Amino acid sequence: IGNNIVLNIISISDNNVKIGIEADKSVSIFREEVYQQIIENNKNSAIKEKNMIPENLKSLQINKIKKNDKKK
């Protein structure tokens, strides 16, 4: 797959193939269904955070500067 990921065929039988994966601990390896769930969770989190932005903005205080105010 690359310089730091190696796939090994552990065994083959009937309709099954067992694969071993060698990779650095920094490389995350997930089964397809787990990976798809992670993607879905990330999308849902992003949508929730995006929807929270207007509420967060309401809590901000904006100080208006009058045109007449001059620095002393």
3-38 pLDDT tens trace: 889 999 999 999 999 999 999 999 888 999 999 999
**Amino acid, single-letter form, for residue 57:** L
How many domains does the chain contain in total? 1
> Which structural domain, as residue segments, surrounds residue 40?
5-58
Model pLDDT, residue 62: 72
Residue pair 30/21 in contact by the 8 Å Cβ criterion:
no
46-71 pLDDT tens trace: 776 666 666 666 666 677 777 765 55
Residue 16's beta-bridge partner residues? Answer: 13
In a domain, 68, yes or no: no
Confirm whether pTM is higher than 0.85: no
CA–CA separation, 12 and 8 (whole Å): 11
Residue pair 38/30 in contact by the 8 Å Cβ criterion:
yes
In a domain, 47, yes or no: yes
What is the CB neighbour count within 10 angstroms for residue 30? 10
